[in-house]
Amino acid sequence: MKAATPIVALMFVLAVGLSCRLAERLTGDPKAGTVSSLWPDVPPLAGATKADLEIPLGARLAIRAMMQGKVNFIAFTTDQSAEEVKSFYSNERMKAAGWTPSEKGCIGDTEDEDNHGAVCLFKRRDGKKDEGLAIVLAQDEKTKKTEIFYARIDLTQPTPSPSR
């Protein structure tokens, strides 16, 4: 029985690896950037550079399933720390740009030495259109750059069609 355990473990790792490649093929391009530039109503971070970053597979699957194609992405990198970027997207700055911050504003683990990241959530209503904005920050441990993912989500509920 002890000899079978490593074989079963190896088969499990192989199956997970193959399923991830299959899922990636089914979900399309893993690179962020469904839009070519940051939206004009989102304050740009000075010195940030547009980047083709890979959104983790699990996040891509969840976002596509939940949002049914109503989400656009763009990604940037910066030499600033995640804490500095988080501070830039303050509630006051985002309110001035027309966004309503979530109750807690930006939340994250930027104070932890090992994990540098945060999530900032905002929403806005423009006429009959409801939109959400998520700004996700993560530090790349290899390059020490902060990765900034912007996701704009159409939250407008479809109007029910009149029943006959």
Residue 50 is predicted with a pLDDT of 93
Q: How far is CA 156 from CA 32, 67, 68, 71, in A?
A: 23, 11, 12, 12
| pLDDT tens digits, 77-88 | 999 998 899 999
Output the pLDDT for position 24: 43
Q: How distant is the alpha carbon of residue 47 from its chain centre? A: 20
d(CA 64, CA 52): 18
> Using one digit for the tens of pLDDT, what is the confidence trace for 48-74?
999 987 666 666 666 666 656 577 888
- Return the DSSP state at 49: E
Encoded tokens for 64: 């596509």
What is the predicted pLDDT for the residue at 35? Answer: 84
Residue 74, CA atoms < 13 Å, CB-side half-sphere: 14
Which segment of 18-22, 102-106, 112-116, 127-131 scores lowest on mean pLDDT? 18-22
pLDDT digits (tens, 9 = 90+) for 119-158: 888 999 888 888 989 898 888 888 889 999 898 888 887 7
Whether 83 and 110 have beta carbons less than 8 Å apart is answered as: yes
For tokens 């509920």, the residue is 157
